[in-house]
Each structure stands twice: as structure tokens, then as C-alpha cells.
Amino acid sequence: MRAQIHKSLLLTGILSVVISFLVAGILYYQGIQARALHEIGHLTEIAADGLTGDAVRDIAFLETIRSKSEREMHITWFGADGTLLYASHPETDGGADEPEIREAIADGTGHSVRKNPNGEPMSYSAQKAADGSILRIAVPRSAPAGILTPLLPEILLFLGVFAVGCFAASQKETDYVLRPLRQLEGLISDIMEGAPERPIPGGYKELQPLVNKVREQKKEIQNYMEDLEEERNTVRTVIDTISDGILLLNDQQEVIDYNRTAKRIFHSSDDIRYRKVAVLYRDEDWLRAIGLAFEKEPSERNEYTMTLNGRPYRTSMARIELADETTGLLIVLHDLTASYAAEKMRREFSANVSHELKTPLTSISGFAEMIANGMYQNEADVKLFGSRIFEESQRMMSLIETIMHLSKIEENQTTITWKPVDMGKAARYAADLIEPQAAAKHVTIHVDAEPLYVYGNSSLLSELVMNCVDNAVKYNREGGTVTVSIRPEGEDKVRLAVSDTGIGIPKEKQGRVFERFYRADESRNKSTGGSGLGLAICKHIVNQHRGTIEISSVEGEGTTIQAILPRMSDNDLEREVAAASTAQIEAAKAESAQLDPAPEAAPEEAVRPQKGKKNGSKDKKDKKDKDKKDKDKDKKDKKAQKDDKGKKK
């Protein structure tokens, strides 16, 4: 830009000087010619006054004037009657009918500038003498080049000086023109960096639209970057929360992106970007699968089951094209540990179910066969066999229902409503339900519970306490005691403890009491009607609530079962109550909106989106403002609800 401005100013200056010289040369030339014409007219007038009427003497006088002149001079003398008396160049001077002759006859003096018969430009001056004769003197007109040639060195020197001056002046003027633009560069940098606004340098109002446009563009860019950052963070959050490991490799088999799960799979605490995938896991099968996946077509997906760091994974690999148009490889690692464990559990479950159902089915089959074969003596035997069949079938139905209930808990298929649960209230509720059973055995139940809250399912947590208390009563001695306590454990836990004074469990069997269908004392379980699934159900309920459960027992003295569950703080409880109230309000609003009649369709012109970034930014801004107002309104509603609850308390 500077070079162009400097070049334009320099050319303008030089052209101005050249044009000025041309105009000056033309004026100078015209002045020289006018002066020459004036001199010829003056000479003609003097020569005409010097004519005496003596033809011989006057001709000699005219010859003397011509010969003494430094310039070429054509002299012609006509008599009063128009006869030619003298002509220095008769072949080119012309006759008495020329315009300057006619003018001199009429006015006494005549002038003209014209070409002679040979085509040479001449200046003519005619003067009428005292005797009526006409004297005419003509001189050739000089060409402009001939006039200016003697001044050529001075002209070139002058032009050179002016060119240097123009160069220096254009340099200075260029700096002057660009100075506000350089200062504007700093202002634009400040605007883009978010510095406080300051006035335009030099007070050039013409630059104000440009500055305003830069500020507007800066705001749009900032909004666009914020949107991109928000989208990037959203995508990154989604990717990081995916339970599968994700790796993205470039064509050099270097990791260019990954999620947290992948970092955990490869036991890496540092950033693994641009590290060779072979460095992460040095396994030939793993690297061979990656190499083969790079050679496959992008539409082909390669799936392998392999062991990485001692855990089974289903690995899906697909070749993709990266943003820089190079080849990449997307790897998804799905942990199969839970699936394998579930499969093993299902196999064990099937075996246990088959074993547990075999006993009542064998009993039913035996009694039914005896009846079918007539192996009874009287009707009383038939009734006895029938009652045994009914009892075993009821036992089998109860076992099946318990198994189905446990399966639903394990597979998370039960519809669970999560909310704050008062564990003290759940303990007292369970004690009240088991009280008749305890009274039949003369067992006393003591409840020592504080109002501590756990975020979970009320039915499942009540079942947890009930199973523990039920076991404590079943396996207790006549006249024994059962103690149920709910106490805080640390800062954020609650401890449920159920202790009894019963028969206890041998130490070598305590590690298996939470297994399905396991009975520490088979004969005791059969007499009490136990299925061996009660503590297994308790374990899965505790696991679903992100807690731990353990048992401690001394054979012959008693057993204590302890469950540690996450405890809700007072702030958590208040937030949960406020969130529940807000959810009720929003549900009511949604229901009322559904009941309202649908609004009439707006005209197409009114709903058609406008094109352009500005309108898009405005719509986005309006949406943000609306969201902010909705959030403020929700906060006010929550605060009002808390105030109302405080007043009620």
C-alpha cells in the first residue's frame, strides 16, 4: 500500500511538473512569435518612412536592410497602382492580392501569418508609405524545437531538480497519509484485545465507520468463538463421559485425540497425544489389528475381542479421513468384564436355580407317583400326600418369586423412584412389621435410629432393613434381643447396623453368606423356611445405592450386619426438596400448556428466518436473554417455596 501511494504521489508530481513545463514552453513560444511579429511590423514601418520616391535609391536602401539583417528576410515593394517595384524572393513572396496587402491599403498597416507557396510558415507585415506604395517584409516563423533547443540543458537540470523534489515530497506526503492508518492499527489491536475504547487518532472522522465495523466484527467473532468453545466443551464432555474408550490415530499411528476412559484403560496419567500407539500397549496382536485396519476400506468396520492389561475388550476399528485430508483410524474399546461376569453369574444362577428347584420337584413327583400308582392305604394317606404336594409347590412358587425379584434388582429392571429416604423411619417401620414374628419367639427388638437421609429408593431400603431384621429374628434364641441402629459414619455416610444374640455363623462360612442360595446351616434354613437369597438381595440393594455391606459374627454369641450408605447433607436435602417442588411446578405448567388450545399458525413471512450473520447473532442473543429470564424466574420460585416451607415449619 505504501509503495502504491508513494508511486501515485510521485507520478502526480512529475506529471504536474512536465505539464507545467509544456504550458510554459507554449506560452514562451507564442510570446517569442508575437515579439518577432511586433519587431517586423516596427521595422516595416521605419523602412516605409525611409522611402524617398527615387526607385533606384529606395531599392538600394531595401537591399541594404535585407543584407544587414541577421535573419532571413523577404522584402517586397508594390507601387500605389499595385505594380511590383521590388521583390527579394519573387518566386515565394506572392502578389498584391495577399490579405496583409489589402489590409495595409485599407488601414495603412497589415499583418498575417501564413504559409508561402513553398509551404513554409511566414510572418508578414505590410506598411503603406507616404507616396501610397506598399512595403511588405516577411520573416520565416521558427519551430518550437528550434527556439527551446538552446535552453535544453537548463530545462533538463530544472526537471531533474523538480523530480528529486517530487520524490522527497511524495515520501513525506506518503508518511503523512499513512500516519493515521498506522495509529489506527494500534486502535484496532486494542479493540480486538478487548482494551477500553479510545478516540480515533488524529480525530479523522472519516475512519469512524471503519472503527465501528471493526468493533461490530469483533463482537461477532467473540460470540462465534464462544459458541465454538461451548460446542467444543459439550462434545468433549460427551466424549469423556462415554464408558467406552476412544482413540483417534493419524496415519503415523500416533494418538491425536482420546477420552478419559481410554487414558484409564492404558493406565496413563500423562497426556498421550502424539505418542505412538505402540508405546501405550506393546502387544503384537493389538498392533497387527491396527495395521490391518489401516489397510481396510473406510466402509469396513473391524471388530476384535482381545485382552488389554488383563481385561477383555471388544475393539471396533474404522478408517476415517481427518480434517487435513489424511487417513486416520478411530478405535472404540468396549470393556467386556461386566458382560463376562454377568454371563458367569447367569450360568451359576441357572445351576443354583436348577438345584434349588430340584428338591421340591422331586418331592412333588414322588408323592404324585405314589398317588398315581395307588400306593396308599386309605383316604387319609391321599390327603397327606396332597398336602405335601401343596406345601412343596408353595415353597417352589415362593422360591421362584424371590429369584425373579433378585434378578430384577441385579439387572436394574425394577422401576426405581429416587428421593430422600429417612433411614430412621425405615428402621422403625421394619421393626413394627417384624414385631409379631419376634414376639412369637420372645425376641425383643430395640431401635436406636436418628433421622438421617439417604438418596435412594424407599421400597428397596425398607426391604434391606427388613431382611436384616428378619434374619436376626429367625436365627435368634428364645428370649434373645435384636438391636437396630442408624448412626452417622464420618462426614458423609450413614451406618445401618443390625445385631442379634443368635446362633452366629462359623468364621469359615462368613465370606459366602452374601452368595445366592448359600445357607450356613442347611437344616436350620429348612426349618425356618429360608431360601438363601435374603442376604444376596441385601447386597445388591446396597450396591445399587453405592454403599458397602459386611458381616461380623461369633458362633454361639450372635451376628452383626453393617451397611454403609452415602448420607445426604442438609444442603443436599434442601436442594432435593426444592428440585422436587420445581419439577412439580414444571409438570403442572407442561400439563396446562397441553390443555391450552394451539395458537393459530403465524404467517409464513413472520416465521421465515432472515438470512445473515447479524440476524443469527440477534436470535442467539434473544435466546440467551430468554434463558436467563427463565432461570431468574425459577430461582425466585425456588426461594418462595423455601420461604413457605420455613413458615410451615
Residue 468 sits in the same domain as residue 354: no
Q: What percentage of the chain reaches a pLDDT higher than 70? A: 77
pLDDT tier, 40 (very low <50, low <70, confident <90, very high otherwise): confident
User: What Cα–Cα distance (Å) separates residue 475 from each residue in 36, 187, 478?
Assistant: 150, 86, 10
Residue 544 sits in the same domain as residue 634: no
Residue 438 sits in the same domain as residue 524: yes
Does the residue 46 lie in any domain?
Answer: yes
Virtual CA dihedral for 363, 367, 373, 376, nearest 10 degrees?
A: 140
Tell me which residue of 463, 481, 475 sits closest to 563, measured CA to CA.
463
Q: How many helices (H) and strands (E) does the chain have?
A: 19, 17
- What is residue 486's predicted lDDT score, i.e. its pLDDT? 92
Does the residue 227 lie in any domain?
Answer: yes
Domain of residue 372: give its range: 340-407
pLDDT at 394 > cutoff 80: no
- What is residue 532's predicted lDDT score, i.e. its pLDDT? 61
pLDDT in tens, 72-126: 888 888 888 878 888 887 777 667 778 888 888 888 888 888 888 777 888 888 8
Residue 587 sits in the same domain as residue 637: yes
DSSP string, 439-495: HHTT-EEEEEE---EEEE-HHHHHHHHHHHHHHHHHTSPTT-EEEEEEEEETTTEEE
- What is residue 30's predicted lDDT score, i.e. its pLDDT? 77
Which of these ranges, 57-66, 81-90, 295-304, 359-368, has the smallest mean pLDDT?
A: 359-368
pLDDT at 498 > cutoff 80: yes
Residue 21 sits in the same domain as residue 53: yes
- What is residue 523's predicted lDDT score, i.e. its pLDDT? 44
- What is residue 566's predicted lDDT score, i.e. its pLDDT? 92
- Give the per-residue SS3 of 278-318: HHHCCCHHHHHHHHHHHHCCCCCEEEEEEEECCEEEEEEEE
Residue 263 sits in the same domain as residue 276: yes
Does the residue 259 lie in any domain?
Answer: yes
Does the residue 432 lie in any domain?
Answer: yes
| Averaged pLDDT for residues 367-372 | 77
Chain-centre distance for alpha carbon 523: 69
Residue 564 sits in the same domain as residue 577: no
DSSP string, 518-577: --SSHHHHHHHT--S-HHHHHHHHHHHTT-EEEEEEETTTEEEEEEEEEPPPHHHHHHHH
| Averaged pLDDT for residues 342-371 | 69
| Averaged pLDDT for residues 316-321 | 88
| Averaged pLDDT for residues 479-492 | 90
Looking up residue 455, the CATH number of its domain turns out to be: 3.30.565.10
Question: What DSSP element (H or E) covers 128?
Answer: strand 121-128
- What is residue 481's predicted lDDT score, i.e. its pLDDT? 92
Q: Which three cell numbers stand for residue 162?
A: 523538480
d(CA 148, CA 314): 99
- What is residue 593's predicted lDDT score, i.e. its pLDDT? 62
- What is residue 620's predicted lDDT score, i.e. its pLDDT? 46
pLDDT tier, 145 (very low <50, low <70, confident <90, very high otherwise): low
- What is residue 617's predicted lDDT score, i.e. its pLDDT? 44
Does the residue 162 lie in any domain?
Answer: no
Looking up residue 354, the CATH number of its domain turns out to be: 1.10.287.130
| Averaged pLDDT for residues 580-593 | 78
Any idea which residue has 518550437 for its cell? 144
Q: Which residues pair with 444 in a beta bridge?
A: 481
pLDDT tier, 201 (very low <50, low <70, confident <90, very high otherwise): low
pLDDT at 499 > cutoff 60: yes
- What is residue 149's predicted lDDT score, i.e. its pLDDT? 66
pTM of the model: 0.43
Q: Of 335, 369, 390, which one is at a domain's C-terminal end?
A: 335
Looking up residue 294, the CATH number of its domain turns out to be: 3.30.450.20
Q: Helix (H, G, I), strand (E, B), or coil: what is residue 371?
A: helix
Residues 6+ apart with CB under 8 A from 9: 169, 170, 173, 174
- Measured over the CA atoms of residue 642, residue 644, residue 645 and residue 646, the dihedral's sign is positive
- Give the per-residue SS3 of 143-176: CHHHHHHHHHHHHHHHHHHHHHHHHHHHHHHHHH
Residue 506 sits in the same domain as residue 551: yes
Which of these ranges, 110-124, 548-562, 608-622, has the smallest mean pLDDT?
A: 608-622
Bigger pLDDT: 67 or 564?
564
Residue 388 sits in the same domain as residue 474: no
| Averaged pLDDT for residues 270-298 | 83
Q: Which of 47-61, 219-233, 367-381 has the highest mean pLDDT?
A: 219-233
The amino acid at residue 216 is E
pLDDT in tens, 158-172: 777 777 777 787 777
Q: Of 335, 351, 382, which one is at a domain's C-terminal end?
A: 335
The answer to whether the beta carbons of residues 308 and 281 sit under 8 Å apart is yes
Which of these ranges, 165-169, 294-298, 302-306, 519-523, has the smallest mean pLDDT?
A: 519-523
- What is residue 337's predicted lDDT score, i.e. its pLDDT? 84
Q: What are phi and psi of 530, to 5 degrees?
A: -75, 145
Number of domains in the chain: 6
pLDDT in tens, 400-423: 766 666 666 555 544 557 888 899
pLDDT tier, 22 (very low <50, low <70, confident <90, very high otherwise): confident
The amino acid at residue 257 is D
Residue 449 sits in the same domain as residue 549: yes
Bigger pLDDT: 540 or 614?
540
Which of these ranges, 190-204, 275-289, 398-412, has the smallest mean pLDDT?
A: 398-412
User: What Cα–Cα distance (Å) separates residue 396 from each residue in 361, 389, 530, 565, 647?
Assistant: 8, 10, 12, 33, 54
- What is residue 618's predicted lDDT score, i.e. its pLDDT? 46
Does the residue 155 lie in any domain?
Answer: no
- What is residue 409's predicted lDDT score, i.e. its pLDDT? 59
pLDDT at 330 > cutoff 80: yes
Residue 426 sits in the same domain as residue 463: yes
Q: What is the CA radius of gyration of the chain?
A: 59
Does the residue 69 lie in any domain?
Answer: yes
Does the residue 165 lie in any domain?
Answer: no
d(CA 429, CA 469): 11
Residue 590 sits in the same domain as residue 644: yes
d(CA 646, CA 76): 135
Total Cβ atoms within 10 A of residue 272: 19
pLDDT tier, 495 (very low <50, low <70, confident <90, very high otherwise): very high
Q: Of 135, 150, 165, which one is at a domain's C-terminal end?
A: 150
Q: Which three cell numbers stand for residue 411?
A: 439387572
Q: Which three cell numbers stand for residue 172?
A: 513525506
pLDDT at 571 > cutoff 80: yes
Total Cβ atoms within 10 A of residue 356: 21
